[in-house]
Amino acid sequence: MGNWNTVAKKGATALLAAFLLVSLQGPSPSYAAEINAEVPKVIDKASPSVVAIIGKPSYDSDKTLEKNRFNLAHGTGVIVESNGVIVTNAHVVKDMTNIVVVTSDGTTYNGHATNIDEESDLALVKIEASGLSPATFASSSDIKVGETVAAIGTPISFALRNSVTVGIVSGLDRSVSSQYQLIQTDAAINPGNSGGALINMKGEVIGINTMKYADFGVENLGFAIPVDTVKYVLKHFQLYGKVKRPYLGLELEESWEAVVGLPSSTGLRVAYVDPDSPAAAAGIEQDDLVVSIGANKVKTLVDYNEAIKKYLPDEKVDITIQSEGKTVTKSVTLGEVLHPETKWREDAEGSDLDADRGKTKIGDSHFGWSMKYPAGLVKGHQSEEGDSVSFVDAKGEFSLSIQVDNESDELSPSALLNLLTGSEEDDYDDMTPSTILERQYVKREGSPFAKIVGRSGDDGYIQTRGYLHEGRLYKVQLFVMKDHYNNDFKQNSYNDLLDSFKLSFNAQDESLKDISSYSSGNTIYTNEYGLSFALPTSWQKSSYTGNSAFFNADYSQMLQVHVTSASSGDTLAAWADRERKQFEAQYVQKYRKITDPEELTLAGVPALKTTYAETLGNKWTAGYSLFFIKDKYKYEVDVSYPQDEEGSELDDLLHSLTSTIEVDKDNRDQELGFIQDLDELIDPNRTITYKNQKYKYTLQIPEMWTSSKSYDNKDQVSKSFLFTGGYLTIDADTNTSYEDLVKEEDAAQKKSHESDSEYAYTDEETTILGGVKAKKYEVNYVSAKVPYKETTYMFSQNQIAYTVRLRMDAAVRTDANEARLNKAFASLQFLDTVTK
């Protein structure tokens, strides 16, 4: 297992894509209680076993996102042990901190997630309690399609905990956006019902509610995790603290019929075999068809998961496959899927559910301001630098923004008022009054300010205040809806909030909440492949290459990220060795250095680090490459820098990278497919034909070279073919004779030698390309400490004068590179002599 998710599944049908976690809302059915006279008794029996769960959603390190007291998430759980063990959905608590559990009688407990299994979407929450009412679990074999069931949970709002909806079992063994089979029900399941109980009319739990189908015109379509799967996961949690899943090392692909929901007549195609895996050791290969696991036929991924969960790691299982038309059975000793351990987390601000308990003021320690913090004030967007922040009122009555810009303290009151009015040159304002009602300079002791009050169209009113302090302009802007502005009581409260703004921040005041997002430390970057890592805040992403390249402040250091798919059977060692050989083939030995790979661990998997250095003869560029393979993708992180900058700063960068690199499949673009590593396909000796009809020549150029074209005032065209450390250039001239071009070249070569005696050249008459008479110049020179050799051939053919220059730096003049350059020149032919 572990690597079995399939490209086919990712791009399945719109039906599968529309299945969402119950955070989506849809219509709910209504059932009369008289459908079953026993329903109230059943609910009385089961409801004490169902709890409501509430907590704070966790975020990444982006400080511009607000964690306020109103930003909460909730779901439902089912008591499984009287001492406070509760089962719920993994998606309910996976990203939840500061968990609070409320029982049906209204008792509140602090809790924490002890076990999370995302594959089954089940988790355990523990509270310190005793004497609770654990649920009674049914058997999946007793569940019948059409029997009456009830769903108990916390829909929509936490105030609606232990709500009940009634319906029937609509279907069994459903396969929808889940690793395992599900129960289908038409009992209404709404946002917040996740993790709650689906019970039968004996009061027994037959499933844990997990998702619903939400789409326009679709009703009564919810799903629950069957009780047998719940029991399987709970048993593993109890015995091992996690679900011990067998690992085969296969990525399996369903047939077209299975993807669209038709009965499939074929097995699962092996799309990828993880190197050094149990499957690889057993001889299972790409494109084999997996027919059965033990005695269980498998035609879908859900079939596979249901079959494999009957085994434990280190057990042997017979796997029947079809390979090249033959059916064979292979005995495989199963490995184990490794998952990170669940850790109890609490918010950085403490264990209290209210993140701002005790905070009556708010401010920014870096920019040095503070003000009152009413309970209903909610922070919205904040710039990465922290110089701009917005707030909204929880009831929607007003919004407030604070912006800090550099500005001279010498502005006069009139200039400041004019600035706040919002002239055409004013780049600060995104809310300019349509009508000014008040404009004045308020001489408040210690912090005078400019004040503008005006109407904002027909929607409301804007008050803007501007303060000048220590080279900064602090602009505080309040927008109030029209219906509330003319209420004297509320207007007094708005003015009180504005009057509380101060140009100071008391770090010793425990009632003051600091929202500063300014940081001189690290910034976390995440790309579409789920790769994340930390870089110093001073670094920036390249505006040309998106997330793939990053530079330090002076552009002397660079980090590049390359992500490709791991081809079936490829290994970490083989990949790193290919990269090493390419590097060694590019440079002459005295101009390069490279170390043997160093083993380390990145993102929880084995990795290799290779350190290298290269030069063209002037300055050495050093760097290192980090290689690792995870979830069928190859991740390469390359860092380069001037070798003379090596020291503690770069050591810190390496430590930061290796300690923060992570890969999260949840952050990966779900539309990603196979990304071919082009280095696996490149043949440095493969050539392509370049043909120039106008200037009547053709030649064979290595496919990996690049090309460019330029013109001069004489209609002379220059075509260049480039590679690292060299080029081949062909100039074709129809206006200048061969003899004149030779005279010009002779003069240029002599002038270069006279200007610098180190510039040495030779010239001679020669014959090239099977009989073409030419003038040959050969130069060996060191330019800017970079030694190079350049050979120039000048000749005439078809009444066209040609100049061909072959240049190569000494650093890359390997036998192979030189042979490719000479071979490219030797392939030059003229169209009137080419056989058609």
Catalytic residues: 91, 121, 194
Other Cβ atoms within 10 Å of 231 Cβ, number:
14
Cα Rg of the chain (Å, integer): 36
Q: Tell me the C-alpha distance between 536 and 519, whole Å.
A: 10
6 touches 301 (CB < 8 A): yes
Q: Which amino acid is at 233?
A: V
Q: Tell me the C-alpha distance between 535 and 659, whole Å.
A: 11
666 CB-side CA count, 13 A: 5
- Name the strand (E) or helix (H) holding 308: helix 301-308
Main-chain phi, psi angles of 553, to 5 degrees: -60, -40
Q: Tell me the C-alpha distance between 788 and 786, whole Å.
A: 6
DSSP string, 316-331: EEEEEEEETTEEEEEE
278 touches 335 (CB < 8 A): yes
| Secondary structure letter of residue 209 according to DSSP | E
Question: Nearest CA to 158 among 222, 91, 72?
Answer: 72
Task: Give the pair of three-digit tokens for residue 423.
Answer: 């002239």
716 touches 697 (CB < 8 A): no
| Secondary structure letter of residue 131 according to DSSP | S
Question: Nearest CA to 706 among 724, 685, 721, 684?
Answer: 721
Q: Tell me the C-alpha distance between 392 and 399, whole Å.
A: 4
Task: Give the pair of three-digit tokens for residue 805.
Answer: 């220059």
**Looking at 631-724, which runs of residues are DSSP E strands?**
633-642, 662-668, 687-692, 697-702, 706-711, 717-723
User: Which strands, in side-by-side order, build the sheet including 361-364?
Assistant: 369-372, 361-364, 512-514
703 touches 688 (CB < 8 A): yes
| Secondary structure letter of residue 203 according to DSSP | S
Q: Which amino acid is at 289?
A: L
Using CA atoms, how far residue 432 sits from 428, 472, 499, 796, in Å, is 10, 21, 21, 72
Task: Give the pair of three-digit tokens for residue 278.
Answer: 């149990």
3-state secondary structure of 693: coil
476 touches 469 (CB < 8 A): no
Task: Give the pair of three-digit tokens for residue 744.
Answer: 């010009």
Paired residues of 251 in beta bridges: 272
Q: Tell me the C-alpha distance between 528 and 563, whole Å.
A: 10
Q: Tell me the C-alpha distance between 223 and 305, whole Å.
A: 18
Task: Give the pair of three-digit tokens for residue 313.
Answer: 């790691």
